Amino acid sequence: MVGRTYAMFDTSLGRCGIAWSDGGVIGVQLPAMREIETRRELLRRFPDARERTPPPEVAPAIDAVSSALRGQSHAAAGLPLDMTSAPPFSRRVYELLQRVPRGETVSFDEIASRLGMTGVIHSVKQAISRNPFPVLVPCHRAVPSPGETSGAPTFGGIVTRSRLLALEGALAGRGVTLFDALLSLAPPPRSAESA
C-alpha cells in the first residue's frame, strides 16, 4: 500500500466512507444525506487519499461500522487504527472510549476523572468532537453529563448519536423524542445506483 486510500461502502443508514494508511484505519465518515456529500467530507479530511478496493485488513472495520449502524454487536476492539496524527491527549481519550461497554454512556467529567486529570473537560470535549473514527471509537457514548445526549459529535451528528445510543439500549426508559419521530419518518437509504 502506498499513501492514503479510501473506499465507500453501504450501511443501513446510507453510504459511509473509510480511509486507511499502511498503519491502519485513519478515518471513518458516517453518511450524509447524499453519497456525494459523504465523499466530499471524507476527501476534505483526507485530500491526498485515492479510492481503491479495501484490502482484507480493512474489511473487519467496515463490518464493525455496518453492524453498529444496524444495531448489532460488533468487535471494534483490536482493529488497527492509525492514530499517529491525533494528539497524545486525544489518543488517551479514544483508548478510554473504546473500553466503554455497548449500551452505556460516560460523561465528559467522568472521562477526565478516569484519565486522572481535573479541569480538562473542555479538552475532552474537543478530542471527542475531533474523533476521526466514529463508531470504531464510540464517541456517541460520551455525553456532556449523565443522561444528556445533546451536543453533536462532529462526524456523525446528533441524530446519528441518538440512533446509535437507542440501538445499543443506552436510552431505555427515556421516552419518545423529536429525534425518534424524525428517524421513523426518514426515507430509506439510497442505493449506490441512485446516488
Count of positions (residues) in the chain: 195
Residue indicated by cell numbers 499502511: 22
- Sheet containing 5-11: order of strands: 24-29, 14-21, 5-11, 50-51
The answer to whether residues 132 and 155 touch, using CB atoms and an 8 Å cutoff, is yes
Cβ atoms within 10 A of the Cβ of 151, count? 15
Which one of the listed residues 124, 136, 139, 164 is annotated catalytic?
A: 139
With CA atoms as reference, report the closest residue to 54 among 77, 33, 79.
Answer: 79
Could you tell me where the DSSP H helices lie in the chain? 35-45, 59-69, 88-97, 108-114, 121-129, 157-168, 178-185
Indicate if 16 belongs to the active site: no
Between CA 151 and CA 4 the distance in angstroms is 30
Q: At what angle do helices 178-185 and 157-168 cross, to 10 degrees?
A: 90
User: Catalytic residue numbers?
Assistant: 139
